[in-house]
Amino acid sequence: MKRESDTTCRRWPECVCGQHWLFYQSAPVDYFLNAEPIINAMLSCIVERCPDARVRSAATIQLLHPIFRRQQRKETANDES
């Protein structure tokens, strides 16, 4: 499937999400304590806009983790309120 060029990030991997992607690959465990919303946003952006299919696939798999599904349920509940 061909991706729309207007939705593809033109700055990858120098964009903020690319920088976070690289950082969290080797970050110490204590950096993850309060980073769930940041990581969720980063992964969602990568899935939608990253031009690298391998990275998009990896981000998609990460978003299937229950911790991110819980975050998505919280956001949906807040939107409905």
Distance of alpha carbon 25 from the chain centroid? 13
Structure tokens at 46: 């990568």
Higher pLDDT, 2 or 24: 24
pLDDT band at 67 (very low <50, low <70, confident <90, very high): confident
pLDDT computed for residue 65 by the predictor: 87
All structural domains of the chain with their residue ranges: 36-81
Alpha helices in the chain (DSSP H): 16-25, 36-49, 53-63, 66-80
Neighbours of 63 (CB within 10 A): 18
How far CA 8 is from CA of 15, 24, 28, in Å, comes to 12, 22, 30
- The per-residue pLDDT of the chain, averaged, comes to 86
